[in-house]
Each structure stands twice: as structure tokens, then as C-alpha cells.
Structure 1
Amino acid sequence: MKRTRLGAVVATAAVALSTAAVAAPSSAAPDKDRETVQSAPAVQEAPARKAKRRAAIRILSFNDFHGRLRDEGGLGGAPALAAKITELRQQYGRRTTVTAAAGDLIGASQFESTIFQDEPTIEVLEAMGLQTSAVGNHEFDEGVRELLRIQHGGCYDQCFEDGVAYDGADFPYLAANVTWKGSGKPILPPYWVKKVRGVEVGFIGVVTDDLPVLVNPSGIRNVDVGSEAEAINHYSQVLSAKGVKTQVVLMHEGSAQTWEPGEGETPEDDPRTPNTCIGLEGPVAAINDAVVPQVDAMVTGHSHEGYVCMLDDPRGNPRPVTQASDYGSLVTATKLVVDRKTGNVLRDRSKARNHEVTVEDGVDETVQAIVQKWLDKAAPLANEVVGSVTEDITGDSSGDRGAETPMGRLVADSILWGTQAEADGGAEIAFMNTSGVRDSFIYAETPGGEQPGEITYGEAGAVAPFGNLLVTLDLTGADIEAVLNQQWKGEAASRPVLALNPSEGFTYDWDPEAHQVVPGSMELNGEPVGADDVYRVATLNFLADGGDGFTAFGEGENVLGGPSDLENLVAYLEANPGLSVTDDRVGGL
């Protein structure tokens, strides 16, 4: 990754969610292999005997933390998340709980974490007692080598704490379905076992098998990414052979609840909460159906949703399948009751609940002190004013990643601006992916004490967090249309559409029924784009390398690299003060 100024790239985003009630477990009959042995006829003694044979274990989980050191709008953030986890541990008993996560703990982080290679996030996760996590796609943002450094330690290109070497995460990342190319050997442990109240609990970690199209392919060229379900089932068998019968999956793949208002209903009637499971759509249900019954619970992530489901396993027995939204705004508490004699989970007693995390409920002072330390280190650069806006320019991609946004268009314009000169590539068109835009410029926000409308380096870094490089290449009009048609990922994808934002002067229409560009609708500066004509196109190396599934960029020729996206965005802001919202450039998307 190219470094700018202190060698940083940055990110932040905000989501607010509501909470509600506990989801009721399914009434399906328990697996016969998991039934408790009948107690002796002595009625008065039976409850006591059963109680001794049963162990209640709680899994406290979260996902998609994304280096959220600070809270946004009173929700989430490291100090509040740590306080909520401590509260739940005290409620259930520290010895009966395990704290685990489902990936994307780092990457697309707030400025104060990204500028220091997410070492601050690892420090706060350790302080709040995280015990294990699946890898997420964002753990691979800078490739396998950097992920292994995050796990095992070592300085990046400098030691950020006064010459003291970073010592790595003290919790294991799990990656059962990511193996060294051709070897079948996981790059990190595939599972982790923790004894709780005398019961061994096995955790298997997997990441979405879409990983190759979600990160820069060059960073993972030495690994293979396999099926989530196949890896889970293999290591479930391994755990069973070791006598570990209580098994939990940590999976960085997700779904979403869906609901459409019926006759006479309005959006205010929406029954979905973080503790319901209504109209679940996405890959999770299919993966659940394919995962062996020996797995007792599945903690999911990736889709930034809150839900609590009881989904039948292949034997028809319900198991909790949950997700805790994002940014530390929710914590899931999953209860598993284990028969000590058989080691099996009593599925009819399993349940889960999502708990909201708010600053009002308290913050952990130890974690707050760690956060403040890194805030102080980052402040001199973060608070430097680099530009200004005249109104809000929004682009928080945690919402709809299938549409262009004002900030997406602004970033696309900045890419074109930085590559238009012949020496810089001579670009005529630029594209920016909506999913790569991670924050907004809000006129009234003044995080560094600047004037309203002024944009700081930290705010710019929050928009462009990934350390990508600008790239220019030659594409024909037909190639450009093929790239745009790849915005459609299919109904089965967790995000069916991933939009590209075009730069000023390029327009086209999208057919939402056919899921493709309307033939003949592409124009550049009012002139039709010819299928055989060659155009100089600018984008990010992530996209040029096929990231987000945009493999048609691979048809490009005469490829030229450029500066980092953040360096270019800052230069664009400095050269263009007083930016405002631009008009839509795509019809129908």
C-alpha cells in the first residue's frame, strides 16, 4: 500500500439500528442423538440431577466492527461495545461466556485506526476480551502478508508506539476455507476449542467464498478460497473425532431480512427488528441447509444486518443463526444448553438475542483511554483542513451499494481530474465503485474544530480508506459496456447490484428488468460512445484487477499506474474548494 503523509488511508461509516424482543425457538423435535437421558423415577430428585448434568453456555458475538474506535451518533464504538460485553459477562457469569466475532474487525476503519495499520483496533479488541474471530474479506484488504502480520506481529514500515514492535493479536483469527494455493493447508487455524464449564466448545471460522472478487486479487494470488459449507463440514468432522460435540460456526457471510408493505400498510408498520427473522434472503439459508447437524449455532456477518433466526438443520432440528449488524452497535448473546453426559446441545433450549450498544449505557474506561491515546497520535494530521463543501455530499455505502451516490460521483470526478493530463494517463472517463466510498462530507460536522463546510484530511481519509492506486487503461466502447453490465451480480448474491459511479460527462441508461445497459445509451460529453472506438479510462487498481467482480477491466491495454486514491482526493479538494452535489449520471440504476 502506498502511504500518504504518515502513510495512511482511512475509513468510517455510521449505521443506527433499533432493537426489539427475543426470537422464540422453533418447536421442531430435537435430534434423537441430542436428547437428554430420562431421569430416575424419584420425582423430587430429578430436577437437581438434570441441573447438574446441564451446562448453560453463552456466546457473546459481534461482526463487521471495521475499526470503529469512536461511536457515531451515540451508537457503537469501542468503549461502549466493551462496556456492553462486560455487562453481559457479569449478567451470565464470566466463566460461562465466550466472546467471538465473525470478521471484518479491521479494514474500512476510522482514520485513527487506519493511519496506524489497524493496530489500534487490535489493541481495543484485546482489551475488551475478544477470544476468537473468523477472518472477513476486509482482513485481506492489503493481502495475506499483512493479515499474517496483524495476527503474528511485527512493525509495518515503522513501529507506531515509540519504537515498540507490534506484538500481534492475542486472539486467533480462523480461516478454514482459505488455504495456501494447491496445498489444502489453511493459512490460519481452521478452528479453536475453548473449555467452558467442563464442556469443550469448538469454533470453526470461514469467510465468504466471494473473497476473490471483494479484495485486490494480487493480494491473495497465493491462496485458494473454498466453499464455506464444505470447509465447515470437514472441520466439524475433525472436531467430532476429537470428542468436541458442541460446535459453533463463525461465518463472514450474511443475509438480510426483507419485507414489503401489504395493502393498507405503511413503512411505519415494518415488523423487522434486530431480533426477528422475517423474509430472510441471501446465501445464509442455503449454507445452513448444507451444514451438518453437528453444528449447533452459526454466527454470521458481512451483510451488516441484525437478525436472530432459528433455522432447521438437515435433520430438522432448529439452531440459532444470528448477526449483530455492524460497528459494534449490537452484541448477540446466544444460549446453548449442553447435556454434560452426552456432550450434546439441547437444541430446544437454544435461543439468542441481540442487545443494543449505546454510549448512554456506559463506556469502558480502560478502552476509552486506549482510544484517546490513538486519537491524540492521529490528531495533527487528521485535523488539517484540505478543502470545503457548500452542502452535504453523502455517500455512506453501508446503505444501498447498488446505486450511484453524490460522493461516489465526486470521487469519480477526482479520479478523472487526477488522470486527465497526458503525463498522468490522459483519461477521458473515470469510474468509482459505490462500495469503495465509506463516508460523507457533512457541512455542519467539525470534528477538528474547523469551520462548517471545511473538510479535513481525516474526513477525506474516511471517504477513501483502502490505499488503492489510480490506474488508466485503454478500453473500447464495447469493453466499457461489458464492465457496466457486470454491476449486476445476480439474485443469489448477497448484494445483487454493485454500482459504478461515472465521472462528469459520461452518461447512460440502465434497464432494471434486463439488468444491463440500455443498448446505444452510453454518451461521452453528449456524443454516442462507439462500440469499436477506444477510450482512455481511469479507475482504481482494485477494480482494474477484477475486484468486485469487474473482470471486464482485464480487457484494458496500455495500463499506467498513478498516485494513491487518498493522495489524489486530497489534491482534488485543495484545488477545488466549495464543492457541491452534482446531478445523476445514470438513468434507471
Structure 2
Amino acid sequence: MLGPSVRRPLGTLSLLLSATLLAACGSLNPSSPQAPLPPSLNAPAASPGATARTGQVAVKVLAINDFHGNLMPPAGGIKLPDPQDPDKTITLEAGGAERLATIVAQLKAKNPHHVFVAAGDLVGASPLLSALFHDEPTIESLGLMGLDLSAVGNHEFDQGLDELLRKQRGGCHPKDGCKGPTEFRGSKYQYLAASTIDTRTGQPVLPAYAIKRFDGVPVGFIGLTLKGTSELVSPTGIRGLRFEDEADTVNRLIPELERQGARAVVVLIHEGGTPTGGINDCPGISGPIVDIVRKLDKRVGLVVSGHTHRAYNCRIDGRLVTSGDKYGTLITEIDLTLDRASGTMLEARANNVVVRPETDKDPRQTLLINSYQHLAQPLIDRPVGFLAKALGKDGADLDEGGGTTMGQLVADAMLAATRAPASGGAQMAFTNIGGVRTGLIHRPDDRVTYGDLFAALPFSNAVVVVEMTGAQLQRVLEEQWRARGGQSGEYWLPLQLSQGFSYRWDKRQPIGSRVVPGSMALDGQSIAPDQTLRVAVNSFLQAGGDGFRTLKETRLVQTGPVDVDALEAYFKARGTARVQPTPLDRAVRVDR
């Protein structure tokens, strides 16, 4: 999903680790420097099994995307059609690495010719159980369940290229050292990054593709990061990198794959679309993936996509295009038929399988997760306050004006943390919707934990106060709506506003002119174009993240706490009082 990336190490969290945790870590040296990986990777042949050789080879591809370190079933589960009333939905507690691993094993058992792949964002924006250990538990978990290949998503760059390479190769974290119960040996699966280029060498920073052979028939797998990664990641995380056009990259590699005998091609891409219909339907789909697929060489028969956190099973331009929702709630089971003589792909069909709560747990995953849980659980369970009602973040919880109850709470907490001193403190605050990863569940006892807050704000961004004019503020608001840049349609990244600030907007107007003139107000007073304002934002936005370029022109006047700490302070300041959702009336759409 569109969102920011972590801009700094989890420094404040590291300070919270107990001496017991540190003592359990051991003392491992960082991995020694390694030579750059080649731009291609030839994987070992798949086992032919006991099937008879025929004119065709059946291959099973299992796929996930946007796992984001959700080792445990994510809060909120997955929404599915109600079997009793298809017009309604039910929420199912789906996901969790223990159950996902069981289903992976069951599906692999159906066909000895199989491969397990992913479309990126396996790590980053993760719950505390994984993030506290720099996502090492997730990488170990996915390796344990047999993941083979993955595209690199934008969140794999959350801590920069060096950290991504450490995750691939292993070794202790360069600042925090070894925090886990065992030595971190890196990922057993291979990351692919065909379109992510080191500007110094002109080469991909990781292998561009892999070739796997199934009963002797080679299949090429190309992995891609979305072209728009530079707008989603802090500049410090991607310095020295460029992200090339997805379709052009694939089409350039096709002849190279063909020279190596691979005439069937699968694309793993961290980019996606917005579908209509259910998890296995596709009466319609829009978004960047549509235009990308239409430009691909016809030898690409399967596209495994992600990024938008949606589930779909589509045919676009005659190819199968899939996505498996998010957080491990689904796994996509794909069956390919290859022609043995020509090596081409004859057929591709898919089914999104729900990781249901009644699935047996894989005991190896349970053992792995428990080894990290006993170190992290005291921090995860630490009480911070009380909540009167669940707070939503997106989907049905997104107001037509652009506000969400969770987003407004975060903005209010940012304002409270930076309002003093009166002479230089913030007068208002806003945050990007992608920086708020989830809402807050409501428990029967109203209790809220630090783990809940961290799941919503996992990036550990500083809250900063910048100075801007009213004219600049209006330009920032206009940057919420963007054309797709050579692709059809537009997209919307609604800012979440603090109490006291409001404006109105009109979608009937062209992009760049949607804020109703004179509608911006602070505490009921109209904001003039030449008025100077002090605004609290997160450090990602202040650096121009999510494409809010005008914020790079503002003047930094104050640095406050990390956003999750500001939210914790907001709850603690209320003692036993229950935090209530606020009315969604700060950004108002007037064309409805």
C-alpha cells in the first residue's frame, strides 16, 4: 500500500529492551563484506518427483504479498462475503505464520513441481514482535516455510540498501547488534530487484531474475520494485538508487531469459491495482498494474502483484494477474501448464485461499515465534491507556472528505506533543494516511497496549514543527491528488488533520485547484495566504515523502518526540478516561 518507510533505526525502542534481553543475545560480529551479487540467478532444478513424463508439465506456484511482518494473525482479520447474505460482509480472524506455513505445506504436497514466491513488502511497517528485532523473525519464518523468491517492495528499503543486503546475507545489526535468541543468518529465499539500479554501477542491486526448472522445463522469474518507490521512501533510504520503468525492464530481460532456454516467464512485481468483486473475482480492475501488464512482452504469462493490499484474480490482456490481500491472510494457489517441447506456458489459473483460523498450527513456526515472544512480550503488553470504541484507518472507515478516526487521533497526539512552548510550538498538525498502518481494536476491558500503538505507527518517525505560509499550506493540500503520470486515472493520499484545522474541497475542479478558496481555517479563523503558521508533521513528510514536495521548502523550527511516543503520551495524559473517536468533519467534500 502507498505509505512511507521507516526513516530511522528503532533507537527509542532499543532503549526499552531489558538487560535480560541483551544478555540473551550473544555477541556476534557483523557479517564480512561480500562481493556484489550478479544480476541473474540460476536456481537449482526442482525435483521431478514420481510423475510420468508427458508432453506437458504441471507446476504449482504459491504466492503471497505485503506480509509486513505479521507473524501473528493481524487485528481486523479479513473481510469476506457473508455466506448468509452476500450483500453483507463478515470479519474472519485469518492469517498468522503458524497457519500459513501449514497451508503452504498442504498445497506443496499436491504437486512435486512447485515454487513459493512473493511480490514484496514482506518486512517493514511490521508489528512490534518483528520490528523490535529488525524483522529478523519474519525472514526466519518465511525461510522456514520454504519461500523461494521475492520481489523487493518499497518497504524493503525502510532502513536503506545496506540493511536490505544484511537481511539477505545475514549478520548482526550494525547499531543494535544481535537481539534475537539465535544467530541471524539472513534470508533463505532470494530477493529479486531487476528495476532497482545502483547509479554508480548501472547494475541491479540484487539479482534481476531467477530461472527454475520443473521436470527439465525452465521458467524465468523476474522481480520488480515499483517505479514510484522514490516518492514512498525517505531519500536517505534510497540514495544512489534509481527505479526504472517496470514494463521496459521486463521486456529488456526477455531475450536474455530466452537465450537461457526460459520461454515461460513469471513477473513478481510490487505494484498493483484496485479491483471490483470478491477475492477470486475481477469484473473490473483499475490502477497502475493494468497499464504495466498491457505493455509486457507476450511471453509473460503470469503476473504476481501486490502493494495495494487488495485481493484479486484477474485476466488482463490475456494474462493471469493475481494479488493475495495483505498480512498473510491469503495465499494464492496458481496452477501452470507448460509445454515440454516448446517450454511455453499453455495455461495459468489461480485461487486465493483464505488462511482460516481453524487451520492447524505448524509446530516449527510456533517454536520460532515463541523464542522471540518471550523477549518482546513485556513491551508489547505494556498498558498505555483506555479506548471507548474501535478506531478505523481506511476502507469503510475512510470518510468521503478524507478523514479517519485513527488518522485524526494521531494528528491530535502530534499537536499535543509539540504545542508548547506557546511562542514556538505547533498550531496545527497533519500526517499522511500511509503512515498510519492500522486502526485500534477495542477490547472488552477498554485496555490499549504499546503493541497496539506500534502496530499503527511502526516507522518511528520524529514529529517535527515546520514554519510555512498559508499559500504553502494550500499547495500542500492540493498535492493530495495526483495524476498517475502516463497512466490512466488519478490517486488520492488524504492528509489526516488535527483538531482546530479545517478546509473544504471540490472534486469537480481540476487537480491543483480543488481546495475551495477561503475555506482553510484555524480555530474558526480564515487562514490568509501570507499568514505564517507552525505545523507539526512527521519527519518523512517534512523530507517530501509521499510526494508532498512543498513541505521540503518549509523551515524546520522544532524537533519533537517519535510519533508512537507522542501517541502513548496522549493516552497516558488521559489516565483512566476512555479516548473517544472524533467527528470526521475536518476535511469536507462539497460536491456530494
Instruction: Tell whether the structures are fold-level matches, with TM greater than 0.5.
Output: yes
SS across alignment from 1:302: coil
Aligned counterpart, 2:34: none
Aligned counterpart, 1:102: 119
In the alignment, the residues of structure 2 paired with residue 424 and residue 104 of structure 1 have an alpha-carbon distance, to the nearest angstrom, of: 42
Residues 196-235 of structure 1: per-residue CA shift (max 9 Å, x gap): 2112221100011111111212211221111111111112
1:78 is matched by which residue type in structure 2?
Answer: A
1:287 is matched by which residue type in structure 2?
Answer: I
Q: Which runs of 4+ in 1 moved over 4 A?
A: 396-402, 491-495
Contact 1:176–1:190 (Cα < 8 Å) also in 2: yes
Alignment partner of 1:552 out of 526, 533, 550: 550
2:298 is matched by which residue type in structure 1?
Answer: P
Alignment partner of 2:308 out of 303, 309, 319: 303
Aligned counterpart, 1:61: 63
- Please say if 1:289 is aligned against 2:294: yes
In the alignment, the residues of structure 1 paired with residue 500 and residue 362 of structure 2 have an alpha-carbon distance, to the nearest angstrom, of: 50
Tell which deviates more after alignment, 331-340 or 468-477.
331-340
Alignment partner of 2:226 out of 203, 208, 222: 208
CA distance 1:397–1:319, shift in 2 (3 Å): closer
In the TM superposition, residue 537 of structure 1 has moved relative to its aligned partner by 1.0
Alignment partner of 1:121 out of 138, 141, 148: 138
In the alignment, the residues of structure 2 paired with residue 118 and residue 506 of structure 1 have an alpha-carbon distance, to the nearest angstrom, of: 37
SS across alignment from 1:489: strand
Alignment partner of 1:83 out of 92, 95, 102: 102
Unaligned runs of 5+ in 2: 1-7, 18-51, 78-92
In the alignment, the residues of structure 2 paired with residue 506 and residue 547 of structure 1 have an alpha-carbon distance, to the nearest angstrom, of: 22
Aligned counterpart, 2:461: 468
In the alignment, the residues of structure 1 paired with residue 495 and residue 308 of structure 2 have an alpha-carbon distance, to the nearest angstrom, of: 19
Aligned counterpart, 2:278: 273
Aligned counterpart, 2:48: none
In the TM superposition, residue 127 of structure 1 has moved relative to its aligned partner by 0.9
How much is the aligned-residue C-alpha RMSD, in angstroms? Answer: 2.3
In the TM superposition, residue 397 of structure 1 has moved relative to its aligned partner by 7.0
In the TM superposition, residue 85 of structure 1 has moved relative to its aligned partner by 0.9
- Please say if 1:477 is aligned against 2:470: yes
Aligned counterpart, 2:368: 370
In the alignment, the residues of structure 2 paired with residue 134 and residue 182 of structure 1 have an alpha-carbon distance, to the nearest angstrom, of: 22
In the alignment, the residues of structure 2 paired with residue 8 and residue 104 of structure 1 have an alpha-carbon distance, to the nearest angstrom, of: 26
Aligned counterpart, 1:153: 170
1:358 is matched by which residue type in structure 2?
Answer: R
In the alignment, the residues of structure 1 paired with residue 422 and residue 208 of structure 2 have an alpha-carbon distance, to the nearest angstrom, of: 48
Aligned counterpart, 1:344: 344
CA distance 1:385–1:255, shift in 2 (3 Å): same
Aligned counterpart, 1:43: none
CA distance 1:58–1:225, shift in 2 (3 Å): same
CA distance 1:98–1:399, shift in 2 (3 Å): farther
CA distance 1:367–1:396, shift in 2 (3 Å): farther
SS across alignment from 1:467: coil
Aligned counterpart, 1:520: 518
**Which structure 2 residues correspond to residues 109-508 of structure 1 after superposition, within 5 A?**
109-156=126-173, 157-162=176-181, 164-258=182-276, 272-312=277-317, 318-346=318-346, 349-395=347-393, 400=398, 403-422=402-421, 426-444=425-443, 452-490=445-483, 492=487, 496-508=491-503
CA distance 1:401–1:523, shift in 2 (3 Å): closer
In the TM superposition, residue 8 of structure 1 has moved relative to its aligned partner by 8.1
Q: Which has the higher strand share?
A: 2
In the TM superposition, residue 184 of structure 1 has moved relative to its aligned partner by 2.1
In the alignment, the residues of structure 1 paired with residue 538 and residue 15 of structure 2 have an alpha-carbon distance, to the nearest angstrom, of: 18
SS across alignment from 2:341: coil
SS across alignment from 2:492: coil
In the TM superposition, residue 423 of structure 1 has moved relative to its aligned partner by 9.2
2:129 is matched by which residue type in structure 1?
Answer: E
**Which structure 2 residues correspond to residues 44-55 of structure 1 after superposition, within 5 A?**
52-55=54-57
Aligned counterpart, 2:14: 6
SS across alignment from 2:566: helix
In the TM superposition, residue 466 of structure 1 has moved relative to its aligned partner by 0.8
In the alignment, the residues of structure 2 paired with residue 319 and residue 465 of structure 1 have an alpha-carbon distance, to the nearest angstrom, of: 36
Residues 490-536 of structure 1: per-residue CA shift (max 9 Å, x gap): 36589711111111111111212225211100001111111011111
In the TM superposition, residue 142 of structure 1 has moved relative to its aligned partner by 2.1
2:589 is matched by which residue type in structure 1?
Answer: G
CA distance 1:424–1:214, shift in 2 (3 Å): farther
In the alignment, the residues of structure 1 paired with residue 397 and residue 588 of structure 2 have an alpha-carbon distance, to the nearest angstrom, of: 19
Instruction: Output the TM-score relative to the length of structure 2.
Output: 0.84
Contact 1:182–1:224 (Cα < 8 Å) also in 2: no
In the alignment, the residues of structure 2 paired with residue 149 and residue 424 of structure 1 have an alpha-carbon distance, to the nearest angstrom, of: 45
In the alignment, the residues of structure 2 paired with residue 67 and residue 256 of structure 1 have an alpha-carbon distance, to the nearest angstrom, of: 23
In the alignment, the residues of structure 2 paired with residue 310 and residue 434 of structure 1 have an alpha-carbon distance, to the nearest angstrom, of: 30
Contact 2:195–2:245 (Cα < 8 Å) also in 1: yes
Aligned residues: 521
Contact 2:151–2:192 (Cα < 8 Å) also in 1: yes
Contact 1:419–1:425 (Cα < 8 Å) also in 2: no
In the alignment, the residues of structure 2 paired with residue 152 and residue 566 of structure 1 have an alpha-carbon distance, to the nearest angstrom, of: 30
Residues 539-581 of structure 1: per-residue CA shift (max 9 Å, x gap): 0111111111111111202444332112222222212332211
1:115 is matched by which residue type in structure 2?
Answer: L
Contact 1:282–1:493 (Cα < 8 Å) also in 2: yes
In the alignment, the residues of structure 1 paired with residue 395 and residue 120 of structure 2 have an alpha-carbon distance, to the nearest angstrom, of: 18
In the TM superposition, residue 463 of structure 1 has moved relative to its aligned partner by 1.4
In the alignment, the residues of structure 2 paired with residue 424 and residue 456 of structure 1 have an alpha-carbon distance, to the nearest angstrom, of: 34
Instruction: Output the TM-score relative to the length of structure 1.
Output: 0.84
In the alignment, the residues of structure 2 paired with residue 292 and residue 568 of structure 1 have an alpha-carbon distance, to the nearest angstrom, of: 49
Contact 2:480–2:495 (Cα < 8 Å) also in 1: yes
Contact 2:464–2:556 (Cα < 8 Å) also in 1: no
Residues 237-274 of structure 1: per-residue CA shift (max 9 Å, x gap): 2211222222110001111223xxxxxxxxxxxxx222
Contact 2:133–2:180 (Cα < 8 Å) also in 1: no
Contact 1:324–1:330 (Cα < 8 Å) also in 2: yes
1:159 is matched by which residue type in structure 2?
Answer: C
In the TM superposition, residue 311 of structure 1 has moved relative to its aligned partner by 2.6
In the TM superposition, residue 335 of structure 1 has moved relative to its aligned partner by 1.9
Contact 2:13–2:132 (Cα < 8 Å) also in 1: no
SS across alignment from 1:257: strand
**How high is the sequence identity, in percent, across the aligned residues?**
39
In the TM superposition, residue 401 of structure 1 has moved relative to its aligned partner by 9.4
In the alignment, the residues of structure 2 paired with residue 541 and residue 494 of structure 1 have an alpha-carbon distance, to the nearest angstrom, of: 29
